[in-house]
Amino acid sequence: MELAHESLKQADSFVDDIADEQIKQVIDSGNYRASSDYNDAVGFDFAIITVPTPLEESMPDLGFIEAATADLAPHISPGATVVLESTTYPGTTEELLVPILEQGSGLKAGEDFYVGYSPERTDPGNKTWTFVNTPKVISGINEASLENTFRHVNIALVNELAVFAHQLGVNIWESIEAANSKPFGYMKFTPGPGVGGHCLPVDPSYLSWPVRRKLGANFRFVELANDVNDHMPDYVVQRLLQPNRGNTMIIGGIFFFQCGSTGGIYPPREGLEVLPSRSDRRDFGFSRVRMAQIQQYED
């Protein structure tokens, strides 16, 4: 935290999608000041809590949310608004956030101050849809989990199709492009060595966890998708180590984006970087170019 806010004070951005010049402009305007001291939040009108929410053995770790909320609560004044933006399970705002805020402030949520939830919508490296023009949804149901669960399940479907298509001698890429020629009723997903980023591998599990905890049921599609996608890095490694492969390999797309500053999960790296230890080949080259820039080939 100290390092981050000191960098921001110097208009030194550590986020790829926000340029140093943008930070300098808001600092010069007097509308922005970086600080790690919660006393600087006294009298705030709006506070956005956006802290990490890692999964520990498939269980949500909300320790950062609890700590940030407890530190912020004493500084809430009547009329203020607090918005949670961290990835989490449905119900966190009302079940966890509100009680901590009320206890620490002595005020009543919904009467003295306001609380909402805004699902994170960011696509690192996307120059078309940025922080500026991507629509935001504030409060209501946890839409972020629903969006990423949809993507997660469909990626798992096409990943499993890729495995079986190879075994059946079917070119999965040609099949996908043929299906994509249909102008309606189809959404294109392509296979890959797992899922990555800081939301997609996590959000679906945050949605399935309260289903299991509150309803005693399994969110079967999510759990099946997790199983399929988690095994894809190993499947790719097995394909690369087939005897008919050449002696020299160049692995492109270890990171899903050109820079890894988002702190996300990168299964391809986890699987592919063990290649030298699992093969008698010693000539490997790794590239950090974007996956989208690589032409996909079937064998």
Helix H or strand E segment including 235? helix 220-240
More confident residue, 259 or 65: 65
More confident residue, 267 or 123: 123
Please tell me the predicted confidence (pLDDT) of residue 223. 84
Confirm if 145 and 207 have CB atoms less than 8 A apart: yes
CA torsion sign, 273 to 277 to 281 to 282? positive
Gap between the Cα atoms of 194 and 230, Å rounded = 6
Gap between the Cα atoms of 190 and 174, Å rounded = 11
The most confident of 158-162, 226-230, 257-261, by mean pLDDT = 158-162
Q: What angle do CA 47, 64, 73 make, to 5 degrees?
A: 40
- CATH 3.40.50.720 region(s) of the chain? 2-143, 145-293
Gap between the Cα atoms of 52 and 61, Å rounded = 9
- Other CB atoms within 10 A of residue 295 CB: 6
Compute the chain's Rg from CA coordinates: 22
Question: Considering the entire predicted model, what is its pTM?
Answer: 0.56
| Annotation says 199 is catalytic | yes
Please tell me the predicted confidence (pLDDT) of residue 106. 94
Q: Which fold has domain 2-143?
A: Rossmann fold (3.40.50)
- Other CB atoms within 10 A of residue 92 CB: 21
> Which tokens sit at 280?
């008698």
More confident residue, 23 or 204: 23
- 190-240 pLDDT per residue, tens: 988 877 766 666 777 777 777 777 788 888 888 888 888 888 888 887 887
Please tell me the predicted confidence (pLDDT) of residue 141. 31
Residue 68 has pLDDT above 90, yes or no: yes
Residue 188 has pLDDT above 80, yes or no: yes
- Other CB atoms within 10 A of residue 18 CB: 13
Crossing angle between the packed helical segments 143-168 and 220-240, to the nearest 10 degrees: 40
Question: Does the structural domain 145-293 have CATH classification 3.40.630.30?
Answer: no
The catalytically annotated residue of 8, 144, 156, 199 is 199
**Mean pLDDT value across residues 116-139:** 79
**Mean pLDDT value across residues 114-122:** 83
